[in-house]
Structure 1
Amino acid sequence: MRVLLVDDEPPAIERLAAFFANIPGSEVVGTAANGVEAQAAIAQLHPDLVMLDIQMPEMGGLALAGTLPLDERPEIVFVTAFEQFAPDAFEVEAADYLLKPVRLDRLRQAVERARRRQTGRRAAMQSGGGATSTFDDAIWVPLREGQARVPIAAIDWIEAAGDYAMLHTALRSHLLRTTMSALEKRIDPGELMRVHRSAFVRLARVVEIRRVDKWLLTLVLNDGAEVAVGPNYARAVTAALAGG
């Protein structure tokens, strides 16, 4: 995977470059210090992945992402010290959103997610393109003042709560009146996998598997959440984690 690093802070570029040296199948092909430089570098280098800071002089990361045609652009992973831009990042369909200082394990997860997205996009184009997904790319949830759009890409896991579902993101949780069966029809299993009759999980967020016995598992996510795996789902979940 050809990678372009974009950040106006040299230490941040150096840290990412050092990490990518330890990620097989990736190659840093260039760097840029702002969105204007990044535009030129993307046109010249055709990277597969852009690690993009958000707050930069001349042109920030979100502004740059908005100028790139979605069907032609590289995968984008935002890297920033600020949590509050996450909703905007997923609105422009970023592959992931990393907070500084970046950890190597989270970077690996982000790169793998970007690689899977790129592979899926290329496969769709080779199979004739044009076909639109039958799955939702976002879910609207009620608020006191109206509704909020929650991108599927921003959801880490979902749990049943009586007649409701709790959608957990990195920034907050949202309550939605629906069933797990209804959500299963709306959500791409490549994004969020059903691991229990009462739970979905983004497997890229799993950092530990705790085995109670052969088919009784608990998944530990990077935010510390623990999600039980149902016996009927354990084999598929184990295979997916081993292959991912």
Structure 2
Amino acid sequence: MKKLKTIVVEDEYLAQKLLIRWLKDIQEIDLIDCQASVDDAIEAINHMQPDLIFLDINLSGDNAFHIIHQIPKHLRPDIIFVTAYSQYAVKAFGVNAVDYLKKPYSKLRLREAVGRVIQRRFKTGKHNIHEHDQLLTVKDGNQITLVNMSDILWIESAGHYLIIHTADKHYVHRCSMKVILQNLNDTFVRIHRSSIVNLHWIKHIQPRSHGDADIILSNDHKLRLSRRYREAIHLIKQSQTAN
């Protein structure tokens, strides 16, 4: 996934520095500029054509909505408002803002806002999100991570949580199997009451007795395919034939 070219428009020094520091910790963000005035922001946005702007509303006595109206609609980036005032929220969403962060906000809340931008860009087909980079929003403890579905090998249940496995790490996510299946693309199939597998990572199937089978993944991890989910075998065979 390409990173989101991002501009911060904020005239409060401490707020600006905090936002910049937190954004640098978000891997999907490419921070390309920071401005503190309406005129400079308009020039920077029109020249650099960012994908995303973080926009304070009151900028040295001027109003940030003026910035939006000076940007041609076909060049208008996604907007996240960052402000100490709640009374502008209706107006902000009226100009199609993705999110509205009221100061003080947390790093987790900022991460959620960026996640909304990425999900919206995927749904609208904007160029930053590739078709094979469909994203799953995972809350692992207090950290929200956007995981490429193509990187997920399998998912297993553990009580009220799911463990999402990629090739080099795993995430613990509070969710049910039923709900997460609704958010996954069609390369995922349930093979057991406690496991879901990504068809693209299956190496082969080893039949067992009574209609069960073992699924061997590309990293040689073995999963049980229950006869209750035997219809999954047809999907797996179709996937292997297509490949």
Equivalent residue letter for 1:24:
Q
Question: Scaled by the length of structure 2, what TM-score is found?
Answer: 0.52
Alignment of 1:212-223 (within 5 A): none
**Contact 1:109 1:204 (8 Å CA) reproduced:** no
Give 2:109's match in structure 1, choosing from 106, 109, 125: 106
**Contact 1:39 1:64 (8 Å CA) reproduced:** yes
C-alpha separation between the residues in 2 aligned to 1:23 and 1:120?
21
**1:6-34 CA distance string (max 9 Å, x none):** 11111111001100111012121111112
Match of 2:182 in 1: 236
Q: Which runs of 5+ in 1 are unaligned?
A: 125-202, 218-228
**Number of matched pairs:** 150
**Contact 2:51 2:78 (8 Å CA) reproduced:** yes
Does the alignment pair 1:5 with 2:8? yes
CA RMSD of aligned residues (A): 3.4
**2:82 is paired with a residue of what secondary structure?**
strand
**1:152-202 CA distance string (max 9 Å, x none):** xxxxxxxxxxxxxxxxxxxxxxxxxxxxxxxxxxxxxxxxxxxxxxxxxxx
Q: Which runs of 5+ in 2 are unaligned?
A: 128-136, 143-156, 162-174, 186-243
Larger Rg: 2
**1:25-67 CA distance string (max 9 Å, x none):** 2121111112211101112222111000011136322222233
Match of 1:36 in 2: 39
Match of 2:85 in 1: 82
C-alpha separation between the residues in 2 aligned to 1:25 and 1:232?
28
Does the alignment pair 1:18 with 2:21? yes
**Contact 2:49 2:75 (8 Å CA) reproduced:** no
Q: Sequence identity, in percent?
A: 29
Q: 1:207 to 1:86 in 2, by over 3 A?
A: farther
Q: 1:215 to 1:71 in 2, by over 3 A?
A: farther
C-alpha separation between the residues in 2 aligned to 1:231 and 1:114?
25
**1:71 is paired with a residue of what secondary structure?**
helix
Q: 1:230 to 1:28 in 2, by over 3 A?
A: closer
